[in-house]
Amino acid sequence: MKKTYNELQITPSENYPYFVDFILSLSDEAIEEVDGTIILRSEEDLTLILFGIETFTQKLSSSLSKEIFVETKLLVKENEDWIAKYRSSVQPLHVGEFYVHPSWITGEKDKKNILIDPALAFGSGHHETTYGCLMLLQKYISSHQSVLDVGCGSGILSIAARKLGAIVDLCDTDEQATDSAKENFVLNHETYHRVWTGSVQKREQEYDVVIANIIADVLIMLASDLKNATKLGGILILSGILDKYVDKVEAKFSSLELLEKYKKEEWYTLVFKRK
């Protein structure tokens, strides 16, 4: 990796799509688009591309019979170790007995360590809803209970339940998520009972504890299925609920006994008991 890279910023006064297409035809590098500015970065010299853009602007003005302006800036910037920078920005997380950490940070003794590398769209524990679920699992799950994690994402909540001694099933409608969850179980040296791609309707049993950290609209849509998946006397933990939707979710699950409302920032996690 070179110590510096070149950054070319292009801001056309109009006909923006023409400039995007032209720049992509000149270079194999990826571009970034920010508020009407096209940004091209490369470790190679960009002066020829700058010249091409200036010539293109003149030709386009002539072709359209109107004057088009383009503002350009060619900068030299210091290269960074982006992987190292990213890793330094990801902090481990203490949540009660749990210690959630990425693979490049060592676990802690006397903690229930959960190894999760952050990935697109899948939970690493830092979101308020995941944090709330991790807190409440420690209160409502005990050894040998059966647990279903609906919308499992990375599998972080299923892995947490397993570390509390539960027998876990998990599901997600996204196959990428279930694949990610399986990999994370292996990384954490834990086992699950059953995993499937699909929703709660594909379950084969009722559970002592059902967890659904999704979004309020989906929780409402799945209300009957989530209730039916929970044993009589069992616990249903719902999260992913913004404060402006919490009353709506409570009303939909009003046939259950509300045991607890946990709030972190603007997000709620609700705990119900099936009577």
Amino acid identity, position 181: A
Summarised one tens digit per residue, pLDDT across range 62-115 is: 999 999 999 999 999 888 776 676 677 778 999 999 999 999 999 999 999 999
Summarised one tens digit per residue, pLDDT across range 151-172 is: 999 999 999 999 999 999 999 9
Amino acid identity, position 5: Y
Q: State both tokens at 9.
A: 């910023």
Using DSSP's 3-state secondary structure scheme, residue 80 falls into coil
Q: Is 143 exposed, middle or buried (0-12, 13-18, 19+ CB in 10 A)?
A: exposed
Its pTM stands at: 0.71
Structural domains of the chain ordered from first start: 4-79 (3.30.70.930), 128-273 (3.40.50.150)
Q: Is 211 exposed, middle or buried (0-12, 13-18, 19+ CB in 10 A)?
A: buried
